[in-house]
């Protein structure tokens, strides 16, 4: 474990599992079209001692946008019910390996908790390493704590009294962006905007998974699909720092294609065509903000950037789902022709 790296290995967690200051969270979450229930899957198989963090339960209950960041009080109340203390080391994982766990890693960091890591490769890597999982029954303490965490959030937003809050938060505004901050940046271009969605969704030629949401992107953004942060062999692991740097530095560069051969005296010239001047890649010396569909996979990019030393990268919480829902005149979009 290193404070300057955002992940820990399955071997490290296996060796430290059960220590009083190591708390493990199953933060599995799936896209609606996948028809998977992370809560049920947790009860069938999870890392021993892990508690379930409900990404759709520990949320801002004043908005219709999916899984938005809750208030400080609501987050503190939920984490207190999970029996996590400020001195604890928090290890987060999910059922895909790298999908929703980085979102919870980011949430802890937004609220000032620096002792948080993602399990490299998640539950698939844990199981591939030969380590055991366990089941949970409805009356298990772990299940009751997870239920209590969701109820604590509801009580805060209902203005009801909560149990004693033992987890203290300190909001980090440099890691969180809301709608108007992004709108200002579209004009100012101070931050480089990176979108974690698939290229088809980014370009506006593939549908969004949420009904009624057009595909496309925020003007000025560069697409770096989140799977590019991982190695190729399942279960996927986070790429080494040097490979991550290349991924970002080459993002958005034109792909050259051979057009023809032109013969001139004593030499043959191969002519290429490409969108020269359209982009010069991402500069790691300039500030970056990350976005995606609804604020989940953007956190995977933030995780990769953290590994290469960019530790102050904000996430646009509402992401494309919020941006697309605003008026086109005030919040311009880049969409494919005929997708109005």
Q: Is the pLDDT of residue 43 over 90?
A: yes
Share of the chain above pLDDT 90, in %: 85
4 band by pLDDT with thresholds 50, 70 and 90: confident
Model confidence pLDDT, tens digit, residues 90-111: 999 999 999 999 999 999 999 9
Q: Phi then psi for 140, rounded to 5 degrees?
A: -65, 150
For residue 233, the model assigns a pLDDT of 81
Q: Which CATH superfamily is domain 173-325 in?
A: Rhodanese-like domain (3.40.250.10)
State the pairing for strand pair 267-273/257-264. Answer: antiparallel
Q: Is the pLDDT of residue 267 over 50?
A: no
Give kind and range of the element (H or E) at residue 224. Answer: none
- Taking a C-beta distance cutoff of 8 angstroms, is the pair 156, 74 a contact? yes
Q: For the residues 108-132, what does the mean pLDDT come to?
A: 98
Topology at the third CATH level for domain 7-158? Oxidized Rhodanese; domain 1 (3.40.250)
Q: Is the pLDDT of residue 264 over 70?
A: no
Q: Is the pLDDT of residue 272 over 70?
A: no
Lowest average pLDDT, out of 130-134, 157-161, 280-284, goes to: 280-284
Q: Is the pLDDT of residue 300 over 50?
A: yes
254 band by pLDDT with thresholds 50, 70 and 90: low
Q: For the residues 197-219, what does the mean pLDDT come to?
A: 95
The full set of domain ranges for the chain reads: 7-158, 173-325
Question: Is-above-0.85 flag for pTM?
Answer: yes
Q: Is the pLDDT of residue 23 over 60?
A: yes
Residue that is written with structure tokens 């590994």 in the block: 307
Other Cβ atoms closer than 10 A to 95: 21
Vertex 56: Cα angle to 224 and 125 (nearest 5): 55
Q: Is the pLDDT of residue 219 over 70?
A: yes
Task: Calculate the alpha carbon distances from 96 to 38, 118, 197, 200, 326 in Å.
Answer: 11, 12, 17, 22, 32
Q: Which residues are catalytic?
A: 292
For residue 263, the model assigns a pLDDT of 33
């Amino acid at each position: 474990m290193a404070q300057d790296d955002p992940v820990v290995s399955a071997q490290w967690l296996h060796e430290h599992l059960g220590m009083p200051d190591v708390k493990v969270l199953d933060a599995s979450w799936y896209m609606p079209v996948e028809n998977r229930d992370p809560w049920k899957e947790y009860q069938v198989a999870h890392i021993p001692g892990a508690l379930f963090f409900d990404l759709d339960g520990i949320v801002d209950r004043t908005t219709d946008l999916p899984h938005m960041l809750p208030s400080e009080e609501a987050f503190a109340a939920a984490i207190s019910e999970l029996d996590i203390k400020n001195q604890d080391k928090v290890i987060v994982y999910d059922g895909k390996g790298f999908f929703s766990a980085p979102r919870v890693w980011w949430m802890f960091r937004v609220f000032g908790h620096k002792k948080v890591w993602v399990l490299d490769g998640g539950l698939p890597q844990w199981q591939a390493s030969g380590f055991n999982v366990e089941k949970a029954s409805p009356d298990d303490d772990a299940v009751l704590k997870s239920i209590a965490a969701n109820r604590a959030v509801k009580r805060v937003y209902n203005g009801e009294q909560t149990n004693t809050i033992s987890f203290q938060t300190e909001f980090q505004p440099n890691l969180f962006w809301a709608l108007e901050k992004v709108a200002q940046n579209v004009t100012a271009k101070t931050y480089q905007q990176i979108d974690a969605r698939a290229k088809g969704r980014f370009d506006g030629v593939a549908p969004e998974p949420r009904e009624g949401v057009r595909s496309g992107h925020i003007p000025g953004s560069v697409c770096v699909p989140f799977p590019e942060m991982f190695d190729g062999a399942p279960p996927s692991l986070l790429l080494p720092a040097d490979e991550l740097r290349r991924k970002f530095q080459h993002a958005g560069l034109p792909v050259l294609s051979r057009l023809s051969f032109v013969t001139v005296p004593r030499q043959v010239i191969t002519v290429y065509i490409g969108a020269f001047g359209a982009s010069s890649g991402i500069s790691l010396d300039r500030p970056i903000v990350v976005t995606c569909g609804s604020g989940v996979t953007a956190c995977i990019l933030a995780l990769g950037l953290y590994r290469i030393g960019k530790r102050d990268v904000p996430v646009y919480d509402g992401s494309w789902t919020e941006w697309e829902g605003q008026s086109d005149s005030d919040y311009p979009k880049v969409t494919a022709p005929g997708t109005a």
